[in-house]
């Protein structure tokens, strides 16, 4: 479980270590805010069910992370969209405190992330098309010791960690994350776990390559023959979103194509 001191130290890492060349043009704190919204959207649904808290420790973390999110958004530069973002953050907090339906809260978090991206013109698209083959080599070098060669979370260094390393073949969880979410998590680390931030070790291109490889663990390559997506769509949309809007076949195509971008 992540302690408050440890989490705050994560947030206070030097900006230059956290941000890629692309992200340096973004307001300080924007990447962290998007990262927290990704976490809330992905993990809240498993924390509350039918209005009841399933895991009190995780639920408390959700509340604490929302508080940090509110501070990050409040500190962003003033612009025409900021008041709406602050109101959205407040509504998200109300929903968490009222223990509302997980899917509805996840939708709120994802919409708020989209509003944040639009208000501050944050680019979610890699400047160079990711290379999953290069990402595979990076995964073997930096990640497999904890996550296992096949991404199942069964690496030797992961034994005894609490919580255990993420199982990257968990399709339900991977479907709730965009390629940018994976890229952002690699750079910033994952709160509440022992996964470190890799922004100081891996440059922007390497993190996108690694994200594309990781996305492939839950993908069926044969499904790539379905709907066609732009690089911007592959980076910014989740299979969960695409499934709701276009159906399961399109979601399967997104999974496959983000692991083998055009």
Contact between 102 and 45 under an 8 Å Cβ cutoff? The reply is yes
Mean pLDDT of 132-157: 95
Q: What is the pLDDT of residues 231-256, one digit of tens each?
A: 999 999 999 999 999 999 999 999 99
Task: Give the residue numbers spanning the domain of 225.
Answer: 132-258
Average pLDDT score over residue span 74-91: 96
Q: Are 183 and 228 contained in the same domain?
A: yes
DSSP three-state, residue 48: strand
- Same domain, residue pair 169 and 79: no
Assess whether the previous peptide bond of 210 is cis (omega < 30° from 0). no
Q: What is the pLDDT of residue 262?
A: 76
- The residue from 119, 146, 179 where one domain ends is 119
Band of pLDDT at residue 229, cut at 50, 70 and 90:
very high
Q: For residue 107, what is the domain's CATH number?
A: 1.20.120
Q: Are residues 181 and 219 in the same domain?
A: yes
Please tell me whether residue 169 adopts helix, strand or coil conformation. coil
Model pLDDT, residue 190: 74
- Has residue 201 been placed in a domain? yes
| Whole-number pLDDT of residue 63 | 92
pLDDT band at 86 (very low <50, low <70, confident <90, very high): very high
11 is a domain residue: no
Is residue 127 in a domain?
no
Determine the pLDDT at residue 39.
85
The pLDDT, as a whole number, for residue 13 is: 41
Q: Which has more pLDDT, 26 or 148? A: 148
pLDDT at residue 122 above 70? yes
Q: Is there a single domain that holds both residue 136 and residue 252?
A: yes
Does residue 125 surpass a pLDDT of 70?
yes
Q: Please report whether residue 18 resides in a domain.
A: no
Are 140 and 115 members of one domain? Answer: no
Q: Are 107 and 220 members of one domain? A: no
Mean pLDDT for 191-198 is: 83
Q: Do 111 and 138 sit in the same domain of this protein?
A: no
> Once rounded to an integer, what is the mean pLDDT over residues 93-98?
96
> Is the per-residue pLDDT at 204 higher than 50?
yes
Show which of 97, 119, 141 is a domain's final residue.
119
Of 66, 10, 9, which is closest to residue 199 (Cα–Cα)?
10
Q: What is the mean pLDDT of residues 51-79?
A: 91
Helix axes 102-119, 82-97, angle to 10 degrees: 170
């Amino acid at each position: 479980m992540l302690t408050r001191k440890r989490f705050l130290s994560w947030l206070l890492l030097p900006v230059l270590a956290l941000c890629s060349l692309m992200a340096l043009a973004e307001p300080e704190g924007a990447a962290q805010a998007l990262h927290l919204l990704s976490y809330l959207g992905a993990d809240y649904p498993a924390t509350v069910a039918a209005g009841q808290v399933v895991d009190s420790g995780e639920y408390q973390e959700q509340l604490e992370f929302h508080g940090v999110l509110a501070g990050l958004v409040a500190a962003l530069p003033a612009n025409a969209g900021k008041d709406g973002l602050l109101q959205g953050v407040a509504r998200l907090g109300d929903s968490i405190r009222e223990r509302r339906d997980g899917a509805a809260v996840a939708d709120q978090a994802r919409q708020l992330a989209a509003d944040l991206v639009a208000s501050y013109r944050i680019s979610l698209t890699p400047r160079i098309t990711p290379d999953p083959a290069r990402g595979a080599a990076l995964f073997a070098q930096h990640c497999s010791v904890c996550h296992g060669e096949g991404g199942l979370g069964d690496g030797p260094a992961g034994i005894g960690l609490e919580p255990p390393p993420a199982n990257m073949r968990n399709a339900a969880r991977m479907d709730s994350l965009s390629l940018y979410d994976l890229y952002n998590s690699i750079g910033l680390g994952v709160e509440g776990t022992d996964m470190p931030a890799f922004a100081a070790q891996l440059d922007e291109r390497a993190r996108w390559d690694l994200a594309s490889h990781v996305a492939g663990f839950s993908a069926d390559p044969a499904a790539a023959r379905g709907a066609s997506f732009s690089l911007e769509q592959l980076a910014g949309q989740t299979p969960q979103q695409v499934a709701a809007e276009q159906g399961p076949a399109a979601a399967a195509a997104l999974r496959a194509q983000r692991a083998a971008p055009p």
